[in-house]
Amino acid sequence: MTATRKTRIPDGKGGWSEIEGELLPGSVADTQKQEAARQQQFIDEAAELTKLLVKFDQPIITERGLTKEHRVFAAALYCINLRESYPGADGKPDPAAFDVISKMAWDYYDANDPKKKK
């Protein structure tokens, strides 16, 4: 029988949900380090997506002669649409769950803002 382990992922409510996965050889290492690595991987993946979104919209803005105000308005409207359609645990829209994740992102940004580390 293959051993399994529970791990935590963001739950959309400001905390973490547990999922179960198969343990691979060598996975009995420091579980706190593993958890920190999984959380960092989540943040790294989200940061990469952010970079891709920024790279995607910049050429469109330039090509169409749009302004920085167009970009901010579009980004805000995108976020509003995401918030209003974000699925909760029951599959129905749950804007409050989106707000919790947004706060987690803001807290992460605030804690890692290079301008504040001077």
Write a three-state SS string for the chain. Answer: CCCEEEEEEECCCCCEEEEEEECCCCCCCCHHHHHHHHHHHHHHHHHHHHHHHHHHHHHHHHHHCCCHHHHHHHHHHHHHHHHHHCECCCCCECHHHHHHHHHHHHHHHHHHCHHHHC
Is the pLDDT at 11 greater than 90? The verdict is no
% the chain with pLDDT above 90: 42
Q: What is the pLDDT of residues 59-118, one digit of tens each?
A: 999 999 999 999 999 999 999 999 999 998 898 999 999 999 999 899 989 988 878 765
pTM of the entire structure? Answer: 0.62
Every domain of the chain and the residues it spans = 30-117
**pLDDT tens digits, one per residue of 23-68:** 776 655 677 887 888 888 988 999 899 999 989 899 999 999 999 9
Return the pLDDT at 28: 59
